[in-house]
Structure 1
Amino acid sequence: MAETRDHLFLQCSVSIQVWSQLLQRLGQSGASLHYWQDLMQWLISLPHSLSRTLVRLSVQALIPIVWRERNSRIHNGTSQPASVLFKLLDRQIRNTLLARLPHRRCQGLLTLWFQHE
């Protein structure tokens, strides 16, 4: 199968599993993101019940994690399960939110992150 942006970040089995965990954590387990266009549209039209900051932070953290996993598989022949990748994502979100606690825009986001744990 040809590697495309859609396949790598949204359609491969590992990406699907990590996205599923992320969407569940955000309380959006019913969201369907199969194509980059779907992701962009979802980001533009987020429900008001969701924090745009938390969602965008999560997506911005997830993309490089998937990219590094892809490179590790191709160049090093090593791989990690989706559960480990989600733990990396979770740790990165927690660290980022803890570092930004004093910022008004980030107050309450840590609570939201744990809301659907």
Structure 2
Amino acid sequence: MSWAELLSWQRSSSSAAPSLLRKIAAQSTVYQIWKQRNNVVHNHVSIPASTIFKLIDREIRNIITARRKRKLFRNLMQVWLI
């Protein structure tokens, strides 16, 4: 996926993935990729893709859980888990 495709996906409208969830997923993905890049450059250690996917999933769940009482976040976990 290219940067343009990520931005296009983030801006698209979809009933399956609300805008807020797409923004959280994009932010988490970019953050984890950046951490992986820094880990390779500075520590010469590469983390397996499966571990990065688990980290992204955990971060998204944590973001939603921390804000679960806010109106926009109430049903977001259900959508994420589907």
Report the TM-score when normalising by structure 1: 0.65
Higher relative contact order (CA 8 A, sep 6+): 1
DSSP-derived class of the 1:102 partner? coil
Report the TM-score when normalising by structure 2: 0.90
Give the aligned CA root-mean-square deviation in angstroms.
1.1
Give the distance between the partners of 1:47 and 1:94, measured in 2 at CA.
20
Which residue of the other structure, out of 21, 24, 28, is the alignment partner of 1:54?
Answer: 21
2:33 alignment counterpart:
66
- Do structure 1's residue 87 and structure 2's residue 81 form an aligned pair? no
User: Structure 1 residue runs of 4+, over 6 Å off?
Assistant: none
Deviation at 1:40, TM superposition (A): 1.5
Which is richer in helix? Answer: 2
Structure 1 runs not aligned, ≥5 long: 1-33
Structure 2 runs not aligned, ≥5 long: none
Give the distance between the partners of 2:57 and 2:12, measured in 1 at CA.
24
Percent of aligned positions that are identical:
33
Give the distance between the partners of 1:49 and 1:69, measured in 2 at CA.
29
Query: What is the aligned residue count?
Result: 82
